[in-house]
């Protein structure tokens, strides 16, 4: 497709900020729906043709560049040190996304510290390789979503850890549910996936896939070849991993039909999030002798094995930890609570922030603590966490009191109380501070987070089927409302706009992010009233401000 279809006419010629994003989204979505439909009909040749059309289209290329220049890793370079920050660099990058002559660069290897003290290797591709992966992911994701296991929740659009935890509750919460649980973890899943298996079973351009898998990595100035695995850090890697692990549910269904010889229903449930999974069964012996060999055989075909350290078989009354939650039955009642390990890690992080800021003003310390506390509380707000929240608030208060007393060793406790603590509504002893501009900051209380049970996504739903379009729109609204429940102003503007960006008419979600734009700029006399504010996608906001915004009204800019 030629670029002029997606670029507005202007005297200055084609430019990144003149792209018609609404058309690009519609064009790509239409091709993705056709790919998904062909996959469901097992029309492999048609899938291949449509994927080739998508990866060569201008619309898909600009969306791929947009993704890698707006995500959290946009400022992290690869081995070439290149990043695309300016519109000119983004526009010129579109022409570089072509199959002919493409050769990926080695990954830049770094390590991140895990909770158990070990280091996890992370490979960072160059910005060009990330854009190519994003481009081919647009063509591969419809296939992976249509063929995915119903209760797989990791690295999939519109699915989260809360969905996985809720499905575990459904599988284990009934009185007649299976009581023995196999909690499995795959050893080095990203690092050990078989290249031969991926090249034989992943429905995408094999030449491009082989180049990515064998690109190698650089560490401390030395180059190393890769003979197995997919880079943990690449955009397309989570989808490749999911496609490799999909099929375990059908393998279990074939081996153990829905009814046993005695006519009783087999209590086998599989819930997977990335490389962590939970399988339920009636007895410990059946898990060890029946389920374990099937799982090990399935993984062996893909070059994978179970981690002996993290894989265990436990009774539901003993309980087990998964995804930061502890799942256990107490006198026949299943309760899900934040796990002790997760709680300990969180408190250690909060205390470390306080220790590192012994001389910082109170308002700055609060601005550092609030996002951490709010993020942790929001993650656990769907489970039985009210007592844990109160305990966390008390532990943070104890550390903050120690911080206050240390700063003023010659002052009395009542003086310290009046300086750093205040009352807010029904709450006393609320840590607060005031900055140089007389703005007041108060510490967020985890206990103020309301406990609300999560509504799980329907397992069979897919965003690449028009029959589910209305459902996913409602789902996006539900997820964003939960994400911004404490931001009343943002939620009010978002609802007023019908949850869509006025510039590109695409939905504003938690993943896309948003910026608040003033229709009449403050320097031109505009205020902060709701009628003067609108939510825009970050890229649309930049696009709007790229022109002479001072001489045009907001409505005129939208229509331009």
What pLDDT score was predicted for residue 261?
Answer: 40
What pLDDT score was predicted for residue 298?
Answer: 96
Phi, psi of 501 (to 5 degrees): -80, 125
Mean pLDDT, to the nearest integer, of 329-341?
95
> Residue 480: is its pLDDT beyond 80?
no
Instruction: Report which of residues 371 and 524 the model is more confident about.
Output: 371
- d(C-alpha 129, C-alpha 287), whole Å: 43
Mean pLDDT, to the nearest integer, of 383-409?
96
pLDDT-based confidence at 543, cuts 50/70/90?
A: confident
How many C-alpha atoms does 376 have within 13 Å on its Cβ side? 26
What pLDDT score was predicted for residue 540?
Answer: 85
Instruction: Report which of residues 427 and 63 the model is more confident about.
Output: 63
- Least confident piece of the model among 194-208, 276-290, 528-542: 528-542
Q: State what percent of residues in the chain have pLDDT above 70.
A: 91
Mean pLDDT, to the nearest integer, of 483-500?
75
Q: State what percent of residues in the chain have pLDDT above 90.
A: 63
Q: Which of 130-134, 233-237, 449-453 has the highest mean pLDDT?
A: 130-134
263 class by beta-carbon count within 10 Å (0-12 exposed, 13-18 middle, 19+ buried): exposed
What pLDDT score was predicted for residue 258?
Answer: 66
pLDDT-based confidence at 133, cuts 50/70/90?
A: very high
Instruction: Report which of residues 485 and 550 the model is more confident about.
Output: 485
Instruction: List the beta strands (DSSP E) in 214-332.
Output: 217-219, 222-224, 269-273, 276-281, 312-315, 320-322, 325-330
C-alpha distances out from residue 438 to 129, 363, 472, Å? 47, 10, 44
Question: How confident is the model over 449-469, as pLDDT tens digits?
Answer: 999 999 999 999 999 998 998
pLDDT-based confidence at 118, cuts 50/70/90?
A: confident
What pLDDT score was predicted for residue 559?
Answer: 37
The token pair that represents 396 in the structure block: 């943070």
C-alpha distances out from residue 509 to 191, 222, 452, 475, 476, Å? 32, 41, 20, 10, 7
Mean pLDDT, to the nearest integer, of 262-279?
79
The token pair that represents 432 in the structure block: 């607060």
The token pair that represents 233 in the structure block: 């850090």
- Least confident piece of the model among 267-276, 441-450, 489-498: 489-498
Phi, psi of 413 (to 5 degrees): -65, -35
The token pair that represents 124 in the structure block: 């960072």
CATH architecture label of 466-548: 3-Layer(aba) Sandwich (3.40)
Helix (H, G, I), strand (E, B) or coil at 81: coil
> Residue 98: is its pLDDT beyond 80?
yes
> Residue 112: is its pLDDT beyond 50?
yes
- d(C-alpha 544, C-alpha 557), whole Å: 7
DSSP summary character for residue 462: -
- d(C-alpha 283, C-alpha 315), whole Å: 9
Strand partners, 152: 272
C-alpha distances out from residue 3 to 15, 66, 346, Å? 10, 15, 49
Q: Tell me the domain boundaries of the chain.
A: 340-448, 466-548
Residue 164: CB partners within 8 Å, gap ≥ 6? 151, 153, 154, 271, 272, 273, 322, 323
């Amino acid at each position: 497709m030629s670029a002029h279809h997606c670029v507005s006419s202007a005297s200055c010629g084609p430019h990144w900020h003149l792209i018609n994003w609404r058309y690009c989204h519609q064009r790509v979505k239409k091709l993705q729906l056709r790919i998904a439909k062909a996959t469901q009909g097992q029309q492999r040749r048609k899938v291949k043709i449509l994927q080739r059309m998508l990866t060569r289209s201008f619309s898909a290329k600009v969306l791929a560049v947009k993704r890698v220049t707006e995500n959290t890793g946009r400022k992290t370079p690869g081995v070439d040190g290149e990043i695309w920050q300016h519109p000119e660099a983004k526009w010129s990058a579109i022409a570089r996304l072509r199959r002919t002559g493409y050769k990926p660069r080695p990954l830049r290897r770094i390590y991140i510290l895990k909770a158990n003290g070990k280091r996890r290797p992370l490979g960072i591709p160059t910005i060009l390789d990330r854009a190519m992966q994003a481009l081919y992911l647009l063509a591969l994701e419809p296939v992976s979503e249509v063929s995915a296991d119903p209760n797989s929740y990791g690295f999939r659009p519109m699915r989260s850890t809360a969905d996985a935890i809720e499905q575990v509750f459904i599988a284990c919460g009934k009185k007649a549910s299976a009581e023995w649980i196999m909690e499995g973890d795959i050893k080095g899943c990203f690092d050990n996936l078989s290249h031969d298996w991926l090249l034989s079973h992943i429905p995408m351009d094999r030449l491009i896939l082989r180049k990515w898998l064998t690109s190698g990595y650089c560490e401390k100035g030395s180059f190393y070849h890769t003979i197995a695995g997919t880079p943990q850090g690449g955009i397309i890697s989570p989808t490749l991993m999911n496609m490799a692990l999909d099929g375990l549910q059908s393998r279990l269904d074939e081996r153990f039909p829905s009814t046993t010889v005695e006519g009783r229903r087999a209590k086998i449930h599989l819930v997977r999030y990335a490389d962590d999974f939970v399988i339920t069964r009636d007895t410990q012996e059946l898990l060890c002798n029946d389920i374990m060999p099937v799982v090990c055989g399935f993984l062996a075909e893909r070059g994978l094995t179970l981690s002996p350290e993290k894989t265990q078989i436990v009774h539901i009354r003993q309980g087990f930890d998964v995804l930061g939650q502890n799942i256990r039955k107490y006198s026949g009642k299943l309760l899900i609570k934040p796990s002790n390990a997760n709680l300990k890690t969180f408190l250690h992080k909060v205390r470390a922030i306080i220790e590192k800021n012994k001389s910082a003003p109170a308002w700055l310390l609060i601005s550092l603590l609030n996002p951490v506390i709010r993020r942790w509380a929001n993650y656990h707000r769907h489970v039985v966490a009210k007592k844990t929240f109160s305990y966390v608030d008390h532990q943070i208060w104890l550390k903050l009191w120690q911080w206050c007393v240390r700063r003023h060793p010659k002052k009395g406790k009542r003086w310290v109380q009046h300086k750093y603590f205040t009352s807010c509504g029904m709450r006393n002893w609320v840590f607060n501070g005031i900055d140089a501009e007389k703005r007041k900051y108060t510490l967020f209380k985890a206990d103020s987070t309301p406990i609300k049970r999560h509504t799980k996504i329907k397992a069979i739903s897919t965003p690449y089927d028009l029959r589910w379009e209305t459902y996913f729109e409602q789902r996006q609204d539900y997820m964003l409302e939960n994400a911004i429940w404490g931001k009343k102003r943002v939620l009010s503007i978002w609802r007023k706009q019908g949850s869509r960006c006025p510039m590109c008419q695409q939905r504003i979600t938690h993943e896309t992010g948003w910026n608040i734009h003033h229709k009449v700029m403050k320097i031109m006399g505009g205020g902060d009233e709701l009628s003067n504010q609108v939510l825009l996608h970050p890229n649309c906001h930049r696009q709007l401000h790229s022109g002479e915004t001072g001489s045009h009204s907001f409505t005129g800019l939208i229509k331009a």
